[in-house]
Amino acid sequence: MKTGSGPSEPSWPRLEGPSRALLRKEWHSSWWLLWGIAVPPVAWGVRVALGARPGGHAAVALWLASAVCALLAAAQAFASETSAGTASFLLGLPVRATTVWRCKVLLPLMAIGAVPLLCLAAHLPAWALGRGVSPETLLFLAWGTSGILLTHGAGLLAGVLLQRTATAVAAGAALATSVAYVGFAAAMAGVSRFAQTDPATSPARADPILFLAVVAGLPGTILACSGICLWLSLHWFRRRH
């Protein structure tokens, strides 16, 4: 028979691990935002696979809805803990601050990473029939996915630095919009340069370096900025906690 001085049985969070408990907490609090990140782009991919144009108002609306969900998921992940007064309890768990940060960003990043895979999977029947994916579709997919990553990174950085969710969402939206505007303006400058070339000449042959900059420059710049936002959010989260 156990005495009162003996070691007590560990509670259920210790049995399944603090990291797993944190992931379960994040899933229960933001599962609807995770679905909101993945479903609209996949719906766009299905529409394009069925013959719709990659662009248009409906396509922009679907990708924008996904970006808004990514921004909300990122901003509320940290700002809601601070405003609710549960940040000290969360950091009192037997885990490092880096582990807490990873658990909060893992599920949204998994949802964003699934977007291009599921969109391309929607084109498998077309590939089976001998029809490939158009370059416009691939460009729209690359630009849209990088935009979602940018809004998520901006929301994370704002959520770590600010204490109110609404303020973090507004600041993250302003940061993401500013970066996307600069990148889009640079891309449009390249497009206007192509419009001045001979119509019979392929843009890739007319100026290969500029063509590559337009095709890969915008998503590349946005991905770099989102990576910087992720690193800064981790850095400031570790410093403040």
pLDDT tens digits for 144-174? 999 999 999 999 999 988 888 889 999 999 9
Lookup result for tokens 């921004």? 71
C-alpha distances (whole Å) from 50 to each of 53, 139, 152 are: 9, 18, 29
Find, among 229, 196, 193, 195, the residue nearest to 213 by Cα.
193
> How much is the pTM?
0.79
Tell me whether residue 10 is in a domain: no
Tell me whether residue 7 is in a domain: no
- Report whether pLDDT(123) > 90: no
Total number of domains constituting the chain: 1
Tell me whether residue 2 is in a domain: no
For residue 146, what are the contacts with CB-CB under 8 A and spacing of at least 6? 218, 219, 220, 222, 223, 226
Share the mean pLDDT of the chain. Answer: 79
Instruction: Measure the CA–CA gap between 240 and 61, rounded to whole angstroms.
Output: 37
Q: Report the alpha-carbon angle 43-46-50, nearest 5.
A: 140
Residues 166-195 have pLDDT tens digits of 899 999 999 999 888 877 776 666 556 555
Tell me whether residue 1 is in a domain: no
pLDDT band at 216 (very low <50, low <70, confident <90, very high): low
Concatenated DSSP letters of 133-187: --HHHHHHHHHHHHHHHHHHHHHHHHHHH-S-HHHHHHHHHHHHHHHHHHHHHHH
Tell me whether residue 226 is in a domain: yes
Tell me whether residue 12 is in a domain: no
Average pLDDT over residues 58-75: 94
Lookup result for tokens 């690193």? 231
Find, among 218, 78, 71, 76, the residue nearest to 148 by Cα.
71
Tell me whether residue 5 is in a domain: no
Q: Report the phi/psi class of residue 131: left, alpha or beta, with left for phi > 0 and alpha for psi in -120 to 50.
A: beta
Tell me whether residue 222 is in a domain: yes
Tell me the residue range of the domain where 104 lies.
17-240
Sign of the dihedral defined by the CA atoms of residues 129, 115, 34, 67, in that order = negative
Average pLDDT over residues 217-238: 84
Q: How far is CA 43 from the centre of its chain?
A: 17
